[in-house]
């Protein structure tokens, strides 16, 4: 295959950045951030990894169309639309909810990349998700890239690190990325997933179905959702702007801001052993900030 979306990025394309904060210094902790957000301006962060093997499978099966699922602000929808375009495939986005009078910037971008949008009710959305499969030369990718192929791609993320970190922390949506990281982690490493959703206590079971073995070196923390998926109270926005001012690190309202906030708060509460090395996976998704860019200091700056 000739296009880069279905091949592994070179190690030089992913930067590891040291993050400094007084809380970390006080607890003698080091924090590195794996900047997956810098891989590609559109297929940002973990999306490239989660889509990789689905797209390879679709091409091998000679499909002509990719179908997938998401909401009005879905990073996955935009990334899939662009990736399908690169692979010279058509794409369909099944969008949860009635068609709005004005499309969100996310959906406008997906359409600009050639995706056909289908708006369905919440009930129909769940029905279509349950009945998805390969039909009429249309290849269906689950919401968020969830599944064994998505986890297989996400398992490659840690190959771009060269340190034996004690803790690896990442955001959790569908659980696909964290499952891949658990699969490729060393036994001594503790994996902490920060749920972006409120009350998503089924995540542990959904993640377990994607694990290669009966690994127990992980936990999902449900305390840092800030009110629910894509909720962004003033405290979170202030934290994002201060993080940009102090560290020049852009974060997003759905995943990475909550993850970084959680790391610092957990450090303050002595949840990490003194002297530990921590890695945060920056999973990208900055396009989600479109909806509040007038309240951020940094929107659009990714490098």
What mean pLDDT do residues 265-269 have?
97
Tell which residue, 252, 38, 284, has the closest CA to residue 145. 284
Of 12 and 100, the structure prediction assigns the larger pLDDT to 100
Do residues 15 and 157 share a domain?
yes
User: How far apart are alpha carbons 205 and 253 in whole angstroms?
Assistant: 26
Give the pLDDT confidence score for residue 230 in this predicted structure: 79
What CATH number did the domain enclosing 14 receive?
3.40.50.1100
User: How far apart are alpha carbons 262 and 171 in whole angstroms?
Assistant: 10
Over residues 130-185, the pLDDT tens digits come to 876 556 789 999 999 999 999 999 999 999 998 889 999 999 999 999 999 999 99
Which helix (H) or strand (E) element contains residue 170?
A: strand 167-172
Q: What are 266's two structure tokens?
A: 């957990």
Give the pLDDT confidence score for residue 3 in this predicted structure: 45
Residue 194 has pLDDT above 90, yes or no: yes
Whether 170 contacts 281, CB under 8 Å: yes
- Specify if 301 maps to a domain: no
Give alpha helix (H) positions in 113-255.
122-130, 148-154, 176-184, 203-208, 234-247
Which of 46-55, 199-208, 289-298 shows the lowest mean pLDDT across its residues?
Answer: 289-298
The percentage of the chain sitting over the pLDDT mark of 90, rounded to a whole number, equals 77
Q: What are 14's two structure tokens?
A: 């992913």
Residue 206 has pLDDT above 80, yes or no: yes
Give the pLDDT confidence score for residue 12 in this predicted structure: 42
Give the pLDDT confidence score for residue 239 in this predicted structure: 96
CA–centroid distance for 73 within its chain: 13
Q: How many domains does the chain have?
A: 2
Of 248 and 132, the structure prediction assigns the larger pLDDT to 248
Give the pLDDT confidence score for residue 302 in this predicted structure: 44
- Specify if 135 maps to a domain: yes
- Specify if 83 maps to a domain: yes
Give the pLDDT confidence score for residue 37 in this predicted structure: 93
User: How far apart are alpha carbons 115 and 279 in whole angstroms?
Assistant: 35
Give the pLDDT confidence score for residue 303 in this predicted structure: 36
Do residues 32 and 176 share a domain?
yes
Give the pLDDT confidence score for residue 220 in this predicted structure: 97
Give the pLDDT confidence score for residue 292 in this predicted structure: 85
* Radius of gyration from C-alpha coordinates of the chain: 19
Do residues 169 and 266 share a domain?
yes
Whether 258 contacts 194, CB under 8 Å: yes
Do residues 103 and 183 share a domain?
no
Res. 6 pLDDT band, cuts 50 70 90: low
Over residues 60-111, the pLDDT tens digits come to 999 999 999 999 989 999 999 999 999 999 999 999 999 999 999 899 999 9
β-pair partners for 138: 65, 135
Do residues 284 and 239 share a domain?
yes
- Specify if 302 maps to a domain: no
Q: What range does the domain containing 96 cover?
A: 46-145
- Specify if 286 maps to a domain: yes
Mean pLDDT, the chain, whole residue set: 91
* Start-to-end C-alpha separation, the chain: 29
């Amino acid at each position: 295959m000739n296009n880069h979306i279905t091949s592994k990025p070179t190690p030089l394309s992913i930067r590891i950045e040291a993050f400094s904060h007084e809380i970390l210094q006080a607890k003698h902790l080091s924090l590195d951030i794996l900047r997956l957000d810098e891989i590609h301006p559109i297929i940002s962060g973990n999306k490239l990894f989660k889509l990789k093997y689905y797209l390879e499978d679709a091409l091998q099966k000679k499909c002509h169309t990719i179908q997938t699922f998401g909401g009005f602000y879905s990073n996955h929808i935009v990334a899939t639309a662009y990736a399908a375009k690169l692979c010279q495939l058509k794409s369909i986005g099944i969008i949860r909810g009635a068609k709005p009078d004005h499309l969100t910037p996310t959906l406008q971008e997906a359409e600009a990349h050639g995706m056909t949008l289908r708006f369905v009710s919440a009930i129909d959305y769940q029905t279509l998700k349950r009945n998805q499969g390969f039909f009429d030369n249309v290849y269906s990718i689950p919401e968020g890239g969830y599944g064994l192929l998505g986890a297989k791609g996400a398992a490659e993320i840690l190959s771009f690190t060269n340190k034996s970190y004690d803790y690896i922390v990442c955001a959790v949506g569908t659980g696909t990325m964290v499952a891949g990281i658990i699969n490729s982690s060393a036994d001594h490493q503790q994996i902490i997933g920060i749920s972006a959703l409120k009350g998503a206590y089924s995540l542990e079971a959904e993640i377990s179905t994607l694990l290669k073995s009966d690994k127990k070196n992980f936990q999902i923390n449900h305390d840092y959702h800030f009110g629910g998926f894509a909720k962004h109270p003033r405290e979170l926005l202030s934290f994002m702007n201060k993080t940009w001012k102090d560290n020049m690190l852009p974060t997003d309202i759905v995943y990475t801001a909550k993850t970084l906030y959680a790391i610092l708060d957990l450090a303050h509460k002595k949840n990490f052993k003194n002297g530990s090395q921590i890695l945060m996976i920056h999973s990208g998704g900055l396009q989600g900030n479109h909806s509040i860019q007038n309240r951020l200091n940094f929107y659009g700056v990714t490098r």
